[in-house]
Amino acid sequence: MKIEHKDILISEVVEGYVNNQEEGVHGYGGKLNIRPAYQREFIYAEKESAAVIKTVRAGFPLNTMYWSKNGDDSYELMDGQQRTVSICEYVTNIIPIKFDDGHELAFNNLTQDQKDQILNYSLSVYICEGTESEKLAWFRTINIAGKPLTNQELLNAMHTGPWLTDAKRWFSRTNGPAAGIGDKYLNGTPIRQDYLETALDWISDGKIENYMSTHQQDTDAQELWQYFQEVIGWVERTFPEKRSIMKGLEWGRLYNVHKDDKLNAAELEKRIVELLEDNEVDNKKGIYEYLLTGNEKTLNLRNFDEKVKISQYEKQKGICPVCGKEFKITEMEADHILPWIKGGKTTAENCQMLCMADNRTKSGK
């Protein structure tokens, strides 16, 4: 792979700058693709963008940027998108920034010599030329600094193609389709590829890279988008009352297993209300999984405290009431005499100490 260093003026980079948000960003007279398919979306906050402009105005050096050269003398920006977009947006749009002297100035408010100082600022750029695999491997290497790429962003870099382009149309836009129906149920943000990663994780049962490799050259990502819609639709039909505790649950995995179960939304809602009011339930987020699976562990039910355990152990003189044998306290576990499912509470009166074998046998019934 050939690598060449160049100093490129800001005036050259901002020439022909066009930002169509998540649709595409170009500059350098239309020859530089600032946001290739494998790149992350713009994530800099106002403070970070302002810091870039202040650095330029002060004449201090910015970190080196990396471009890759295509066969038709066009370029793709491999590293430096956040800084490049910050600069281009400031120069081409009315974006006031408060500088250290206290003045809040947009580019068009600057004096001509101040404008020239910015436009004549040299960006340090390394331009690489090689095969797609070489460029993508280099992309992964140079992105270990700054704001680290997420795992999904790195996978995007290795699986560019028509499928990824279409998938990002659905899942990687701030106000895109996936965000429109999934915001109340998913953690993270679309622009850091969290929504895409979640949907892929669900449909592939954790084998994201294998799924992306298989579908890399597909003309569209309709299978994934339709699956995602089916998951969210099932959640909304099954649990129509939206609550904040629903956000971030493994809805896709629950859908994969329980989508054909006969579920009554009204009865489920009644149980949800009861469990939300139950002081024995420590993990309220686990209610939904519990209602589908019956696994009490998802509720993180209250445990007996050490004082109650020691007191009950002394009363029993270390004897397990099930097998009648004597044990050390470290060999026993606290158990609800009347199980929680039958209304038992975590009180001293409802506590008994069982040997580990008998307690776990009972728990498994």
- 170 lies in a domain? yes
- 204 lies in a domain? yes
pTM above 0.75, yes or no: no
Instruction: Give the count of beta carbons closer than 10 Å to the beta carbon of residue 49.
Output: 20
Residues 142 and 18 in one domain: yes
Question: How many domains does the chain contain in total?
Answer: 4
Residues 135 and 90 in one domain: yes
- 267 lies in a domain? no
What DSSP letter does each residue of 157-210 carry, written as one string? HHS-SHHHHHHHHHHS-TTSHHHHHHTTT--S-GGGTHHHHHHHHHHHTT-HHH
Residues 115 and 183 in one domain: no
Going by DSSP bridges, is the β-strand pair 32-33/75-79 parallel, antiparallel, or unpaired? parallel
Distance CA 96, CA 82 (A): 18
- 266 lies in a domain? no
Q: Which residues contact 274 (CB under 8 A, 6 or more apart)?
A: none
> pLDDT tens, position by position, for the chain (365 residues)?
788 899 999 999 999 999 886 568 999 999 999 987 656 666 677 888 899 999 999 899 998 898 988 878 899 888 888 899 999 999 999 888 888 777 888 999 999 999 999 999 999 999 988 777 776 677 666 664 455 667 888 788 778 789 998 999 999 988 899 999 999 999 999 988 999 999 999 999 999 999 999 999 999 999 999 999 999 999 999 999 999 999 999 999 999 999 999 999 999 999 999 999 998 999 999 999 999 999 988 998 888 999 999 999 999 999 999 999 999 999 999 999 998 988 899 999 999 999 999 988 876 45
Q: Torsion over CA of 10, 16, 19 and 23, rounded to 10 degrees?
A: -130
Q: Residue 173 in contact with residue 40, Cβ under 8 Å?
A: no
What is the model's pLDDT at position 56? 94
Distance CA 200, CA 252 (A): 10
Residues paired with residue 288 on neighbouring β-strands, in sequence order: none
Boundary residue ending a domain (118, 148, 178) = 148
Residues 27 and 118 in one domain: yes
Residue given tokens 């331009």 in the structure block: 127
What is the model's pLDDT at position 3? 84
Residues 99 and 9 in one domain: yes
* Structural domain range at position 289: 273-301
What is the model's pLDDT at position 188? 94
| Ordered alpha helix ranges (H), 60-131 | 81-92, 112-119
Distance CA 14, CA 28 (A): 6
Residue 43 corresponds to which tokens in the numbers above?
A: 């994530």
What is the model's pLDDT at position 139? 67
Half-sphere exposure of 258 (CA within 13 A, CB side): 20
Distance CA 116, CA 275 (A): 66
Nearest to 81 by CA among 94, 98, 63: 63
Residues 112 and 230 in one domain: no
What is the model's pLDDT at position 53? 93
What is the model's pLDDT at position 161? 84
Residues 127 and 172 in one domain: no
Residues 254 and 238 in one domain: yes
In the three-class reduction of DSSP (H, G, I as helix; E, B as strand; rest coil), residue 365 is classed as coil
Residues 221 and 358 in one domain: no
Q: Residue 292 in contact with residue 258, Cβ under 8 Å?
A: yes
Residues paired with residue 123 on neighbouring β-strands, in sequence order: 8
Residues 23 and 137 in one domain: yes
What is the model's pLDDT at position 95? 87
Distances in Å between the alpha carbon of 313 and those of 318, 339, 347?
Answer: 5, 19, 14
- 235 lies in a domain? yes
